[in-house]
Amino acid sequence: MQPVLLRIPWLDWQITSSGASLVVAAFVAYTLTLGLASRAGVSRALASSACFVAAVGGVLMARVSYVAVNLDTALDGSSAAARHWLAWITVRDGGLLGYAGLLGGWGLGALWLRFQVAPVAAWRWLDSTAPGALLGAAVVRIGCYVFGCDYGRPLPPGASAWQQRLGSFPRWAEVDLHGAGAPAWADQVRAALIPPEATHSLPVHATQLYAAALSLVVFGSLVWLGRRLKAPGQLFGAALMALATTHFCVEIWRADPDRGLLGPSLEAKLLLGLGLVTLGLLACAGPARVVREARRRSAVYLLLLAPGGLWLLVRAASGLAWDVIPVSAAQWLALISAAVGALGVRWAPDGAEPVGAAASPSPEAQPIEITE
C-alpha cells in the first residue's frame, strides 16, 4: 500500500491515495452524469452547473458534518489557530463524512436546479447522477483502502490467511506524511493493542473493499433499472434505498472512532437485524409500489422483509453474542435517507407502467427538452 502518490516539495504538499481517489471519483461521476442528463432532456450546461454546486456544497457538508460529530477532536487544538473556525472547514486538515457530503451535494444541486428551471428537471438530474455517484463511491473506497482509513473491526482468530493479508495496514515510511502510519495502525498503537515498533496493524475487516464491492453491485443494478423505471426520481429513490442499506450494513463492521458514534448502543447482531427490518419496511412502503400486480407485489414484500426477519431469528437461536456497539452517524443518515427515498419519491404515479410491463411508457416518462 502506498498512501502518498505524489510529492510537491516546494509547496510541502503530498497527494494521498484517498485524496486522488476523490478527484478521480468526481471526474467519473461528472462525466457519466452529463451524458445521462443529456439523454434525459436536461441541457449539459444546466447539469454541469448543478454538478458544480453539488461538488462544492458536498465537500463542505462532508467536512462540517465530520466536525459536528467529532467536536471533542475539533475543539482540542493545541493552539488558538487550531481552534479557529476556518480550520474546521479546511479539507486539508483531514476528516470528511462522505455519506453526509453525498446527500448534501445531491440536495444542494437539486435545489439549485429546481429554482433555475422546474421540479422535473431536478428529478431528472438526480436520476442522472445516481449511477455515477455509486461508481465514484467505489473508487473512493478503494482509495480509502490504499490509505488505510475507514477500516473495520479486528478479524476473528479463525480468519483465513487472505483476509488477514487484506486487513493488515502498515506503518508508513518516515518520508510519508511525517512518518505516521495508516489510521488502523495508528489507532491500535494509541489503544496499546500493538507496540509503536510494529510494522503492521492487527488484521481487521477490509470494510473499504466490502463497501466498494457493494457499490459496484448497486451501480450495475441501477444500470439495469434505468431502462425500467420511467417516472422522474424513481431511479434516484432506488439509489438512496440501496445506499442506505449498504452503508448501514458495512457500518456494523467498521471500527474507526472518528466516523461519529451517536448511540444508543446495541448488540451488533440485534442492531443489524433491526436495521434490515426497518429498511425492508421502508422499501415496502416505497419501491415495492412500482409492482402493481398483487401477487408479484406480495412476493416482493416477502423478499424485502426476509433478510431482517431471518437474521433476527438466527440471532435469537444462536448463543453467540457480538460486541455491543453504538449507532453511528452514517447509520442514522442511512435510515433518514431511506425514509426520504421511500416516502419522498412518487413510486406509483398515475399512468406509470410497472416494472416489466410491455406497454409503451406514459407521457410523464418521455424526455423533456430543457434549455437555458
| 52, containing H or E segment | helix 44-69
Residue 368 φ then ψ, to 5°: -115, 120
Q: Of 3-7, 259-263, 267-271, 272-276, give the range with the top mean pLDDT.
A: 272-276
Distance CA 149, CA 141 (A): 9
- Predicted pLDDT at 119: 80
Nearest by Cα to 243 from 315, 348, 136: 136
pLDDT for residue 210 is more than 90: yes
β-strands 4-8, 261-267: how paired?
Answer: unpaired
* In the chain, domain spans: 13-155+175-346
Residue 224 φ then ψ, to 5°: -65, -45
Distance CA 325, CA 330 (A): 14
pLDDT for residue 9 is more than 90: no
Distance CA 312, CA 306 (A): 10
Distance CA 177, CA 2 (A): 11
- Nine cell digits for residue 301: 414484500
Band the pLDDT of 117: cuts 50, 70, 90. Answer: confident
Distance CA 155, CA 206 (A): 9
- Nine cell digits for residue 209: 473493499
Instruction: List CB contacts of 70: < 8 A, sequence separation 6 or more.
Output: 95, 258, 260
What percent of the chain has pLDDT above 90? 42
Q: Are 345 and 233 in contact (CB under 8 A)?
A: yes
Give the distance, in angstroms, between the CA of residue 114 and the centroid of all CA atoms in the same chain. Answer: 24
pLDDT tens-digit readout, 38-71: 998 888 999 999 999 999 999 889 888 888 887 7
Rounded CA Rg of the chain:
22
- Nine cell digits for residue 183: 489510521
pLDDT tens-digit readout, 230-239: 889 999 999 9
Q: Hey, how many other C-beta atoms are within 10 angstroms of the C-beta on 270?
A: 16
